[in-house]
Structure 1
Amino acid sequence: MVENYTKLSIYDDIVQTIGETPLVRLKKIEKYFNVKNELYAKVEFFNPGGSIKDRIGKYMIEGAKKEGKIVEGGVIIEPTSGNTGLGLALVAADEGYLTVFTMPDKMSLEKEFLLKALGAFVIRTPTAVAPGDPNSYYKVAEAVRNLIWKKKRPVTREELKEIVEYVQKLVKEEKIDELREILDERIEETPYAYIPNQYFNKYNPLAHYETTAREIWKQTKGSINYLFAGIGTGGTITGIGRYIKEKRRDVKIIGVDPVGSIYNLVKKGMSLEEAVKKAHPYLVEGIGEDILPETVDLSLVDDIVVVNDQEAFAMTRFLARKEGILVGGSSGAALYGTIKYLKENGVKGKKVVIIFPDTGRNYLTKIFNDKWLLENGFEIDDEKVLEGLR
């Protein structure tokens, strides 16, 4: 008789299935890399939208409703690398809101198609532009919001489609002056369009403080020694770190940052102004920043380890073959950074939890596509890349 490992439950809607994701021991990874610690992955693709961002999607929408920032018939707009958009789109579809997401063009096509499948509109923006530029994905989201506010009433799906197509045309044709004009116009705020703005939304870290962190504490029975997580908006590592530090100050919270991001530079004491000058594009999605969001508290982070695109992608691919866990590049970065940090610092005999934020199904045409890797100058012999960690 085959044992049934699944706890069957019945839910009233899909949103109720968010959270309570498993911890999975990475025994084969431990053995292959000779890691003298217990590695446990918090596998967040078990959320219905496929990522950890479902948690904040739920919290940010519920918070906006509670505070009267969005009303029935309103439009939720968000600049996203994809996963936060999916979390918001999932909850919005369940609750009846229209959605628009602005997304840099480096993000995978899978994410765009998934957002559209959930009924969302998507506007693609240039990747290599400053956050304050009118055609950055942050500012384009504001332009869409302003055009809806200007109507002073709820918009229909057809009206929203026209607004989205108009703004996408301005971005594509680089009509910066027209975008700036929309952004600079003084328009009365209404509850018919709302940007949760995950980078500055208190419900982002709160979601992880109240759910992810408590789950990890319960699952490890409080015996966790290290927590490794990539830093994007910083909400995940801040929320988890705050809760766990309240429980036990000696637990080490380690951030993982891609080469090209500013977090590791700021943590080392560099001024934000100087760090931003050194920021440059990278291809791993969902982690790293060229701004310092309000949702990150680096004082809760004990240390930061830096990982490059090649290391992240090789580990992501290797993990799928070795453990059967198909995740995205930020998970590969987190795992590579974990092993690198533990070995360089001689850490042994500890219980280590690593956040795996999303599913690898979002990256089949990129990370898991040899042709794409080769075209972008990456090595496809993963074991060769990872040899230095053994």
Structure 2
Amino acid sequence: MVENYAKLGIYDNILQTIGKTPLVRLRKIERYFNLKNELYAKVEFFNPGGSIKDRIGKYMIEGAKREGKIVEGGVIVEPTSGNTGVGLALVAADEGYMTVFTMPDKMSTEKELLLKAMGAFVIRTPTAVAPGDPNSYYKVAEAVRNLIWKKGQAISREELKEIVEHVQWLVNEERLDELRAILEEEVEETPYAYIPNQYFNRYNPLAHYETTAREIWEQTGGEIDYLFAGIGTGGTITGIGRYLKERKKDVKIIGVDPVGSIYSLVKKGMSLEEALKKAHPYLVEGIGEDLLPETVDLSLVDDMVVVNDQEAFAMTRFLARKEGILAGGSSGAALYGAVKYLKEKGVEGKKVVVIFPDTGRNYLTKVFNDEWLIANGFEVDDEKVLEVLR
């Protein structure tokens, strides 16, 4: 019926369509796993860039403009697993900035091609290196920024292309001493290149405090009991958690962490130094970390649940078939963690919201590709993997 359709609107630009994403009841998931709770997904791929990161892309650049950190003709440089890059690329396309994104080589080809389609330059870096290594995606972003700063003025797209190609060559050839020299050289800061740095940017959690959390509160009529979210930069769970706890003290905020990440270990009381020794690569994208960003406040997280790659991928694929929701691997991880936690803790009669950060269209050649899964040692019989939850 007509009244079931969303109200149509007219907007002046694409950025005005960010946010106001739907909350969708997962009735089939509830029945299949015999959950005695109302289970809802906050479906963030309804954002124009296909992910929750559109929200922070907009907030971080608006904040930088107000603070004079970037000017017209400037270049936005950011280390990203892909989605934050898309959010920033949306803003850049609308407002006329150039963009460069550094991305670990484990990230999907779709994400790289999507960023390039939006006019961005992309530099691929090794995945299995420490954050402080000169060829990590964090440090490579700083190297690009420093080379632009060294110019002392706004640069052309052709000049930016030359810088990007040079830095990619240094990474590919493992010219670590030359990268280190670029990072250590003293250059004057200019507003012609800016790294928002989602891991240390206060506008990251603020975006979720002021938008995502408010939407969830209004959509549930304040009756939310549990929120489950994967933790990447931590901005999502921190911003939402802070807002919800200010309004309902007994709401439970549960973090979902992939095996190989440090968050669950640190939350349990392990020192950062010891946790880092146990960190190792994993394949689910966009959640987990091998550093502790300033954007995460683990004191707001009541409990953690750990999910491995196999569990995340099986639930992601099952979700698409069962509910018709094509979400990414971090969504599957969050959903698996939610079902596991609710069942193991015997939680019943509660209203539960799970954050689905992005679209599965970014992972068609990986998570939704049997050949890729088998080549990486994963089971492709999803129901077999999920049987343990029933």
One-letter amino acid of the structure 1 residue matched with residue 52 of structure 2 = I
Aligned match of 2:373: 373
Asked if residue 311 in structure 1 is aligned to residue 316 in structure 2, the reply is: no
CA distance in 2, matches of 1:313, 1:365: 13
CA RMSD between the two structures: 0.6
Asked if residue 89 in structure 1 is aligned to residue 89 in structure 2, the reply is: yes
Superposed CA deviations along residues 5-49 of structure 1, whole A, max 9, x for unmatched, are: 121000000000000000000000000000110000000000000
Structure 1's unaligned 5+ residue stretches are: none
CA distance in 2, matches of 1:294, 1:369: 36
One-letter amino acid of the structure 1 residue matched with residue 318 of structure 2 = F
Aligned match of 1:293: 293
One-letter amino acid of the structure 2 residue matched with residue 133 of structure 1 = D
Aligned match of 2:129: 129
Aligned match of 2:140: 140
One-letter amino acid of the structure 2 residue matched with residue 209 of structure 1 = Y
Asked if residue 204 in structure 1 is aligned to residue 204 in structure 2, the reply is: yes
One-letter amino acid of the structure 2 residue matched with residue 202 of structure 1 = R
Aligned match of 2:192: 192
Secondary structure, counterpart of 1:111 in structure 2: helix
Superposed CA deviations along residues 259-292 of structure 1, whole A, max 9, x for unmatched, are: 0000000000000000001000000000000000
How far is the alpha carbon of 1:151 from its aligned partner? 0.3
Aligned match of 1:154: 154
Superposed, which structure 2 residues align to 1:14-25 within 5 Å? 14-25=14-25
Aligned match of 1:64: 64
How far is the alpha carbon of 1:3 from its aligned partner? 4.8
CA distance in 1, matches of 2:6, 2:355: 22
With normalisation by structure 2, the TM-score equals 0.99
Superposed CA deviations along residues 160-215 of structure 1, whole A, max 9, x for unmatched, are: 00000000000000000000000000000000000000000000000000000000
Aligned match of 1:270: 270
Aligned match of 1:246: 246
CA distance in 1, matches of 2:135, 2:287: 21
Aligned match of 1:382: 382
Secondary structure, counterpart of 1:190 in structure 2: coil
Q: Report the identity percentage.
A: 86
How far is the alpha carbon of 1:334 from its aligned partner? 0.2
Pair 1:341–1:57, CA change in 2 (3 A): same
Secondary structure, counterpart of 1:295 in structure 2: coil
Superposed CA deviations along residues 105-135 of structure 1, whole A, max 9, x for unmatched, are: 0000000000000000000000000000000
CA distance in 2, matches of 1:328, 1:6: 24
CA distance in 1, matches of 2:317, 2:253: 25
Aligned match of 1:114: 114
One-letter amino acid of the structure 1 residue matched with residue 43 of structure 2 = V
Task: Name the count of aligned residue pairs.
Answer: 390
Structure 1 moving runs of 4+ over 4 Å: 1-4
CA distance in 1, matches of 2:6, 2:195: 37
Superposed, which structure 2 residues align to 1:16-55 within 5 Å? 16-55=16-55
How far is the alpha carbon of 1:258 from its aligned partner? 0.1
Secondary structure, counterpart of 1:41 in structure 2: strand
CA distance in 2, matches of 1:2, 1:306: 42
Aligned match of 1:348: 348
One-letter amino acid of the structure 2 residue matched with residue 197 of structure 1 = N
CA distance in 1, matches of 2:182, 2:2: 62
Structure 2's unaligned 5+ residue stretches are: none
Aligned match of 1:166: 166
CA distance in 2, matches of 1:319, 1:181: 48
Secondary structure, counterpart of 2:151 in structure 1: coil
